[in-house]
Amino acid sequence: MKNDLLTVNLAGLKLHSPTALASGILGYTANYLQVIEANGAGALITKSVGVTPRVGYPNPTVVQARDGLINAVGLPNPGINEYTQEITYAKTLLKVPFIVSIYGYSADEYALAAKKATEAGADAVELNVSCPHVQYTGSEIGANPKLLRDVVCKVKAELHKPLIVKLSPNVTDIAELADVAAKAGADALTVINTVRALAIDADTQRPILSNIRGGLSGPAIKPIALRCVYDVFETVKIPILGCGGVSNWRDAAEFLLAGASAVQVGTALATEDLTVFQNINKGLETYLKKKGYRSVKEIVGLSHQN
């Protein structure tokens, strides 16, 4: 569905709607990504993939919380060498920007996986420097300004496609890390990954997740994510993809007003259904028309005005 009212240009990527599939939710196979595209997503981000295959954690890996999910899936993935075939196939099916999420245990690993993903056809990469539940990667890199700078610089030097960096909320000052990522060469930022969390079963008297600690997602984290987008918008000039608890058009509008140029939708796909993208797009369209705007871009960051 083409609609100029909702079109956004994000670091050179053209999105017909400002709603993208968040990494990790339903996103590995090309055929499934095509179904999500058909439901109105303006861009698709895969589950994170690394240089070598990873099994992930044993069950239970996901637990329902009030107004959200706590997950510690453990980054299961087939490794970039095997996944390149799926990337190449996906590119033959998909029309919207196709973004591969990458993680690594060193700057070299991030760069290698990013290079292979883009050579196989990915339109952009998103660096997962924010997963809160796997040691020596994710937020252990993204929360450390020096490591974050090294990873972003190294990937940027090897990449000829847009580079998106996904930030963690589990830090003292997310704006400071956003600034580090932007100065190191990020073309856009995803704000945020999951919030560190824990679930305990009163009957068994033990933590529920096999990994004990996990990351909270869904409506419960929306106010945190909104605050992070608001803070980052005040500090950096590059586009922001807002992420965290977006379930309907009103949530999406709030993120845009806070400073996001587009939003990502994750948990709502598990708790609602795939029509969430169409519903957000339709709702945003009605909202923009009613308020007299000609482009969704006009409301980005508007809540910062005095």
Given a contact cutoff of 8 angstroms between Cβ atoms, the answer to whether 219 and 67 are in contact is: yes
Which residues of 54-162 form beta strands (DSSP E)? 62-65, 68-71, 98-102, 124-128
* 207 membership: H or E segment, kind and range: strand 206-207
Say whether 243 is catalytic.
no
Q: Which of 235, 249, 251 has the alpha carbon at shortest distance from 285?
A: 249
- Nearest approach in angstroms of CB 274 to ligand FMN is 14
Give 84 or 130: the residue with its C-beta nearer to ligand FMN: 130
- Nearest approach in angstroms of CB 186 to ligand FMN is 15
- Nearest approach in angstroms of CB 68 to ligand FMN is 7
- Nearest approach in angstroms of CB 218 to ligand FMN is 5
Taking the alpha carbons at both ends of the chain, their separation in whole angstroms is 36
Residue of this chain nearest to ligand FMN (CB atom): 24
The active-site residue out of 131, 153, 228, 243 is 131
Backbone angles phi, psi at 52, to 5 degrees: -115, 155
Which residues of 35-120 form beta strands (DSSP E)? 43-45, 62-65, 68-71, 98-102
Angstrom distance (rounded) from CA 258 to CA 240? 10
- Nearest approach in angstroms of CB 204 to ligand FMN is 22
Give 250 or 289: the residue with its C-beta nearer to ligand FMN: 250
Contacts of 102 (CB under 8 A, 6+ apart): 48, 49, 50, 80, 110, 113, 114, 117, 125, 126, 127, 128, 155
Give 68 or 301: the residue with its C-beta nearer to ligand FMN: 68
**Longest C-alpha distance within the chain, in Å?**
56
Residue by residue, DSSP assigns 135-146 as TTSTHHHHTSHH
Pairing of strands 206-207, 200-201: antiparallel
Give 118 or 264: the residue with its C-beta nearer to ligand FMN: 264
Give 84 or 217: the residue with its C-beta nearer to ligand FMN: 217
- Nearest approach in angstroms of CB 292 to ligand FMN is 29
User: Which residues of the chain form contacts with ligand FMN (CB under 6 A)?
Assistant: 22-25, 47-48, 62, 69, 71, 73, 75, 101, 128, 131, 166, 193-194, 217-218, 221, 243-246, 265-268
* 148 membership: H or E segment, kind and range: helix 145-158
Give 22 or 111: the residue with its C-beta nearer to ligand FMN: 22
The residues assigned a catalytic role are 131
